[in-house]
Amino acid sequence: MEYIFVEYKNLLERKLELETELQTLVQGYISKKTIKGKTYCYLQNRVGGKLISQYLKSEEVDEITEQIARRKECETDLPKLKARLSELERAAGLLGKNISRQLMLLKLSTGIDSLSAEQKRRSSSFAGAMNAVEGIPVSEQTAQDIATWQNGNKPFLSIFEATLKRYGFSAEV
């Protein structure tokens, strides 16, 4: 069953990579217009139902063309990854609740380590505020572990698992 966890984790990481890459790639298509015998290229896409055109310098056209092609690849691969993740989740459900829970932990924790330092700080600050509202103090060990995670020196899942163990729960993946 270890192979299910390894494949699931790899697929989650790949999904995150694709989603992150899609955020950086241009959207739309390139149209060409000939004006007085000279060809001009434009990046066109729809924003809120409105067609937006952006002039492209001749030296930008190849890079934008590559980005559009890469976007199409990512948009083709992403549904396949999601379908395989769903298959593994269904299989885990048939194998038992414990395996399903472990996959859910992987799913919930994947991506949190890729947050920026500022996002990690804000997340930790919010979590601390919620603990204060609930009247549940954070242990010194958990606070140290979170600081280590914020600095990028420890994966979030290991901190989560260690915290659960301290309180008598098991979440090993």
Higher pLDDT, 17 or 166: 17
Give percent of the chain with pLDDT exceeding 70. Answer: 97
Q: What is the pLDDT of residues 122-153, one digit of tens each?
A: 888 888 888 888 887 888 888 888 888 888 88
- As a whole number of angstroms, the distance between CA 136 and CA 118 comes to 24
- As a whole number of angstroms, the distance between CA 159 and CA 85 comes to 24
Q: How would you label 80-109 residue by residue, b for 16+ Cβ within 10 Å and e otherwise?
A: ebeeebeebbeebeeeeeebbebbebbeeb
Burial of 30 (0-12, 13-18, 19+ CB in 10 A): middle
First to last CA, the chain: 11
Q: What is the pLDDT of residues 37-71, one digit of tens each?
A: 999 999 999 999 999 999 999 999 999 999 999 99
Q: Model's pTM, two decimal places?
A: 0.72
State the CB neighbour count (10 A cutoff) for residue 146: 20
Average pLDDT, the chain: 89
Q: What is the pLDDT of residues 147-165, one digit of tens each?
A: 888 888 888 888 888 887 8
pLDDT at residue 34 greater than cutoff 90 = yes
pLDDT at residue 36 greater than cutoff 60 = yes
Average pLDDT over residues 103-131: 84
Work out the pLDDT band at 171, boundaries 50, 70, 90: low
CA distances from 145 to 3, 132, 168, 172 (A): 28, 18, 18, 17
Q: What is the largest CA-CA distance in the chain?
A: 77
Higher pLDDT, 27 or 124: 27
